[in-house]
Amino acid sequence: MNIFRFLGDMSHILSFVILLLKITQGKSAAGISLRTQELYMIVFCSRYLDLFWNFSSLYNSFLKVVFIACSSAIVYIIRFKSPQKDTWNPELDNFPIQYLIGPCAVAGLLINQDWTPFEMIWAFSIYLEAVAILPQLFLLQKQGEVENLTSHYVAALGAYRGLYLMNWVYRYFTEDDYLQRIVWFAGTVQTGLYIDFFYHYYQSKRGGLSRPVKLP
């Protein structure tokens, strides 16, 4: 455990807290992509299947359960709970996620660390996480202007990815035998997806002003 990894996990948790606060306190899921949240739920449920047989630390196991619980709760609220379910707009949030899930499943079957079922599922979850934010980014793009809490949510997720990237660099130079090509590749792609958002986030938040983020 290093500081980058820890802060990365904390900003990941922060992103869940921001999103849960937004949809429970604000009673609205407007601007939030249910598609992205469903993808995250699939990602966590498939990657953390090993909760049943792998134990690395209490910290890890606890956070795995937290991530599955939070993403499931978010999907449940937006899909089934009133009044939030009536604020979700399926016409706006219509990214065809089958085109993300399909190729990631094929990639998971073909490119993995070891030819076992769990390694295939695990690789699938890594690939899917890399692109899971796309429906959310497309939704923001369509809306043009992004509500503050939503922009903080995406920023917290982006920070989590950036910090994990630094964690990998740190581990590569401080540990022997630390090689994770699949994770590094997918993680770099994933972090890259946030670069454009961060540019606009910085533009609208600089000078301490709390203006909504405007996307072209």
3: helix, strand or coil: helix
Which of 6, 99, 172, 178 touches other proteins (CB under 8 A)?
178
Q: Which residues contact 100 (CB under 8 A, 6 or more apart)?
A: 39, 128, 131, 132, 134
Smallest distance, other proteins to C-beta of residue 27, A: 30
Structure tokens at 81: 């709970």
Is there binding between residue 122 and other proteins (CB under 8 A)? yes
Buried b (16+ CB within 10 A) or exposed e, 129-150: bbbbbbbbbbbbeeeeebbebb
Is there binding between residue 12 and other proteins (CB under 8 A)? yes
- Judged by beta carbon, residue 56 or residue 98, the one nearer other proteins is 56
Smallest distance, other proteins to C-beta of residue 85, A: 29
- Judged by beta carbon, residue 50 or residue 105, the one nearer other proteins is 50
Please give the Cα distance from 70 to 147 (Å, whole number).
21
Match 């094929």 to its residue by tokens.
Answer: 106
Is there binding between residue 98 and other proteins (CB under 8 A)? no
Please give the Cα distance from 157 to 19 (Å, whole number).
11
Is there binding between residue 72 and other proteins (CB under 8 A)? no
- Judged by beta carbon, residue 113 or residue 203, the one nearer other proteins is 113
Is there binding between residue 161 and other proteins (CB under 8 A)? no
- Judged by beta carbon, residue 66 or residue 105, the one nearer other proteins is 66
Which of 180, 193, 198, 200 touches other proteins (CB under 8 A)?
180
- Judged by beta carbon, residue 178 or residue 199, the one nearer other proteins is 178
Residues facing residue 213 across a β-bridge: 146
Please give the Cα distance from 39 to 128 (Å, whole number).
7
Smallest distance, other proteins to C-beta of residue 46, A: 13
Nearest-10 crossing angle of helices 3-25, 148-174: 160
Structure tokens at 112: 């993995």
Which of 91, 176, 177, 206 touches other proteins (CB under 8 A)?
177
Q: Which of residues 39-68 bind other proteins (CB under 8 A)?
A: 50, 54, 56-57, 60, 63-64, 67
Q: How big is the site for other proteins, counted in residues (CB under 8 A)?
A: 21
